A and B are shown apart, each in its own frame.
Chain A
Amino acid sequence: MQNGRYIGYMLNEQELIEGCRKGSRASQQALYDRYCKKMMVVCLRYSKSSAEAEDILQEGFVKVFQGLDGFRQDAKLETWMTRIMVNTALNHHRKKLYLFPMVDVEKADLPEDDMVISNLHFTELLAMIQSLPQGCQLVFNLFALEGYSHKEIADMLGVSEGTSKSQYARARVLLQEKLKKESSHYKVYGEGKF
């Protein structure tokens, strides 16, 4: 069998897709290599640890290869794969959502301070997202980073639109508090701390 690590450099995306559809393991490996790092970030955003993210990534890629025949190429492959990873992550968390249902919380908006975000490395932002409560984490990812509306999120998670909004508001408050803390730290120690 040809090693996918080498094929990946030689074939374009369409050829890789065709190879995967034919069940070529080398093509599958090449496709995996091409997207696993980006997809890992998606999975990390929806999980609390690297091990959990890798579980989701693994399950997601199996679904990708099994469902590639159904990929109509209306959207970019990366977008399609991201959607599969997100759905896999949501399924992964569904049991926990059942056990720890989301509840409405009071809305509280803090003034925006997005300047701090650009100063931080994405791994630090990732850690902040992972530290959010389960419901907040999911809703924040879906709304802010995946771009879903609250109605869509409500349908996906089986909660009310109001719950989605309140969870997002809470997530935002918590993140802004963390950003504020980071910001003060940043101001004290400057960029040198990185």
Chain B
Amino acid sequence: MEKGNFEKAWKDAFDGAEVTPSNSVWTNVELELEKSAGGKMKQRLLFYKLLAAASLVFAMGIGGAYYVSFQADNNQTAGNLSVNQESSTEREVSDAQSQIKQTDNSHELGVTEIDGVVNSGGNTSSTISALRSENRNLTSVDNGFSASHDQVDDGNAINASLAGTVPITNQDFIVSTENNFYNRVTDRFVDRPLPPLANTSKPKLIIADPYTAPDPGELLLAKLNDEEKKYAAMDKRTRTETIWTSLGVGAGSFNPNTSSSVSVNQSLSSGNNQSPASANAGPSAGSSYSVGVQVGGRITDRFVLQGGLSYLTQNASYTSTVVSMESATYRAASLNDFSNAQSVSYASTPYGVNSNLQFISLPVQAGYLLVDKDFSIQLNGGVSTDFFIVNTLTPSVSGINKLTQNAGADSPYRTVNFSGLAGTEFSYKFSNHYRIAVNPGLRYALNSIYKSDVNTEVAPITFDVALRFRYIFR
């Protein structure tokens, strides 16, 4: 089909056409984009959290190292000063010795013992101040006095008892400081002003209280996560229960619902003028049983379609006062006998007859899910095509044979019948693949099961309850 003026006119009419959508569309688009970016955002947030934690640990490490270094350097400064001023110390010591000698010849002054042990830091044993004070002490010593003082620095003590027996030598101090390797290595820092190693004003580390100040990003993620879960649950339900098969059995009551009877008077060979009603008393309510398989599928979120195949048997009892003659024996009379000129029927004493009808049924039903959860409620409605198989009339007395009537041209029964179906299904999903269901339902024959020439309308109504096991494929 070629495109002509008609199509062109329509196309032109829509050229440049614009309609403003509502503001909610952009909001929803934005929300969808946020939702899809949610996964990426989570990863990013995790990365930033780890980064923040690593930074904090790093900062604490650096701060700790600075603190230790700062403390150590304070001590180093003092120790190094003593080393650097070694020569001056020596001079001072020798001066002190000479002063001692000058003050009183009758007293000898010397270092008797040095209790203090220079520690590994080694930088605190002999400070300038100690030496200076010692020297001062030495200069101020009078005859008969012994001077001693403890110089304590960083836990190391030097006890210098001046007993005047051992002369003090510069070498003692030099040895004590030579052991201090660290001091000598850091000599170069001694004479220049050191920059501040740490900020003395302590910065406050402010950590947001997670209870009072929630992270808006986290909140959004949580909200999106909830929504995602909700949609995932919905999707899962619709996605996971789309095709199934079920096996079921049913039992219920069966009402033949006979609306008229035949005129049998002319057919009866005996002189009993029986009324039609008394010939075959209307069947009373009986029972119905069924067994079958079904296949179903979900068409939309709420609608399902299911069909299947089932075997249906319906029983009803009635009292008959007619027998038919066949091959010189009596058998139960059927309605067909009354309309068939060839058959011979006789009036009899009343006897009970059990009528059994059997069908193969092909039901097709649409269902609407009122409740779509593990426990579900579904309304069903549809039609069933029922293929008549056989009818058996079994007399309750001996001497009268039973009658079996199959489908076919001679049969009074229609081969194909239609029934309306309506019911409710209550089901429970007890595992991923299985659901059990109870289906109370009504089956109403849309046509008489007898052919039109039988002059009797029988449109059975069945109310039954079926129990079905459903296997869910996916």
Contact = CB atoms under 8 A, between A and B. Distances in A.
Interface of A: 23, 25, 28-29, 32-33, 36-38, 40-41, 44-45, 53-54, 57-58, 61-62, 65-66, 95, 98-99, 112, 114, 117-118, 120, 122-123, 125-126, 143-145, 147, 150, 165, 168, 172
A122 B17 contact: yes
B25 A117 contact: no
Contacts of B25: 36, 54, 57-58, 61
Contacts of A36: 20-21, 25-26
A37 B19 contact: yes
A118 B9 CA distance: 7
B19 A41 contact: yes
B4 interface: yes
15 contacts: A36-B26, A37-B21, A40-B19, A40-B21, A41-B14, A58-B25, A99-B299, A114-B9, A118-B9, A122-B17, A143-B1, A143-B3, A144-B11, A147-B3, A165-B1
A66 B36 contact: yes
A28 B25 CA distance: 13
A155 B18 CA distance: 30
B30 A25 contact: yes
Contacts of A65: 29, 33
Interface string B21-42: 1101110111011001100000
A53 B115 CA distance: 97
B10 A112 contact: no
A99 B7 CA distance: 29
B21 A145 contact: no
Contacts of A123: 19
Contact of B14 (A53, A61, A98, A125): A125
Q: Which of A53, A61, A66 has the most CB of B within 10 A?
A: A61
Which 3 A-B residue pairs are closest in the complex by CB-CB distance?
Answer: A37-B18, A114-B9, A117-B9
B328 interface: no
B13 A117 contact: yes
Nearest to A96: B300
A168 B33 contact: no
Interface of B: 1, 3-14, 17-22, 24-26, 28-30, 32-33, 36-37, 299-300
Contacts of B33: 25, 28, 62, 65-66
Contacts of B24: 54
A145 B24 CA distance: 28
A62 B9 contact: no
A40 B12 contact: no
B10 A117 contact: yes
Nearest to A4: B26
Contacts of A45: 14
Contact of B6 (A23, A38, A144, A165): A144
A175 B22 CA distance: 28
A40 B26 CA distance: 12
A114 B17 contact: no
B390 to A, nearest CB: 39
A57 B19 CA distance: 12
Q: Which of B5, B26, B29, B300 has the most CB of A within 10 A?
A: B29
Given A37-B18, A99-B299, A125 B13 contact: yes
Nearest to A144: B7
B20 to A, nearest CB: 6
A118 B32 contact: no
B432 to A, nearest CB: 25
Given A118-B12, A143-B1, 12 more contacts: A25-B30, A28-B33, A29-B30, A36-B21, A36-B26, A40-B21, A61-B25, A62-B32, A62-B36, A99-B299, A144-B7, A150-B1
